Structure 1
């Protein structure tokens, strides 16, 4: 009976975690956070250009909110009374393949310089002569925490990872969690941090 109960508990745990996947990201943090300052209240601050896409910004803010709470912050009920302000950003960039990414061209071949990121060479996939290479993408989020009254930058976060999908929306929460995992410490930069996609 006890063994059967143990199996049921294990099965339930596996079912609960079945929706979670690990996400490995490179994290860089730069901290000027005072040692005696405790996390308090915050408000999000949008740049004028970001106001052109309020739905996307709301998605970013919702994803970052959980990470801010995990770091000890609380969203201010009145933005004017917030202790810090938070700026967010996200982007996806293609890792563009080059026709010179082929051993034939290396080490003093026809071309001794390797080219990267030339727009004319980008394709959904690239045939290198040794096989088809699918397109990959670099996904990045950034966060800047400032003292709201003085405007002083206190904590800067950059999180990147690569993948074969340009979709980033489902990864935002895990990426912001990775960026604030060591708050308020900075460096070493970059460092590999693993978080879970789909974790609440």
Structure 2
């Protein structure tokens, strides 16, 4: 019995060790992206207040990295072809959960309900009802979930025609927007420009912060 429990605990530990935290985002992008756009020069479109907003500038850097990966070039001067704007936010909601409390048949005494180790031993592994949970009560708890949101729009500098407009939303217990933003930005440009108006979900593994 002790050996079986030890093996089960070891397997459970390995299972937990193999689980990775992911940021799961819902992404919807609308686009009228030209089939041929040889000039991908752009500038960020922001207000004067953003100039001295360190958080905003950090998120611009994240977007800049993704745009560079896709062949865009930030214009230092001259006449850029595109403008890029971003908006973001985070909101909390309270969650109340009521769930049943079940008793584990494995812990009905040191020998289990079928008399482990006694004469006339009956193996529970052949009994389909051995692991049937028994509801003994309920428990309630409260927590908060945070919805993180990012919107990025790319428009023509001349005329303001919108070419790409993507919204990324992600909900989880992590309340730090700066910690989640790199994954939201990467999700926004997954499969760029993609099919217009077709929602999809992106899962990205959270990288270890060392």
* Fold equivalence (TM over 0.5): yes
Matching residue within 111, 129, 149 for 1:140 = 149
Q: Is 1:170 matched up with 2:190?
A: no
Equivalent position to 2:80, from 55, 79, 82: 82
Root mean square deviation of aligned Cα: 2.7
Q: Does 1:154 align with 2:163?
A: yes
Give the structure 1 partner of residue 14 of structure 2. none
Could you tell me which residue of structure 2 aligns to residue 54 of structure 1?
Answer: 53
SS in 2 for 1:96: strand
1:190 aligned onto 2:188: no
Tell me the SS of whatever aligns to 2:170.
Answer: strand
Which ranges of structure 1 fall in alignment gaps of 5 or more residues? 1-19, 104-128
Paired with 1:73 and 1:93, the residues of 2 have a C-alpha distance of: 32
- Is the CA contact (8 Å cut-off) linking 2:95 and 2:143 kept in structure 1? no
Q: What is the total number of aligned residue pairs between the two structures? A: 151
Q: 1:88 to 1:35 in 2, by over 3 A?
A: same
**Higher percent of residues as strand:** 2
Report the alpha carbon displacement of residue 75 of structure 1 after superposing the two structures with TM.
1.4
Q: Which is greater in Rg?
A: 2
Which residue of structure 1 aligns with residue 117 of structure 2? Answer: none
Query: How far, CA to CA, are the matches of 1:72 and 1:52 in structure 2?
Result: 25
After TM superposition, the structure 1 = structure 2 runs for residues 88-99 of structure 1, keeping only pairs within 5 Å, are 88-97=86-95
Q: Distance in 1 between matches of 2:21 and 2:40?
A: 31
Q: 1:196 to 1:74 in 2, by over 3 A?
A: farther
Kept in 2, the 8 Å contact 1:67–1:173? The answer is: no
The SS at the match of 2:176 is coil
Q: TM-score, normalising length from structure 2?
A: 0.63
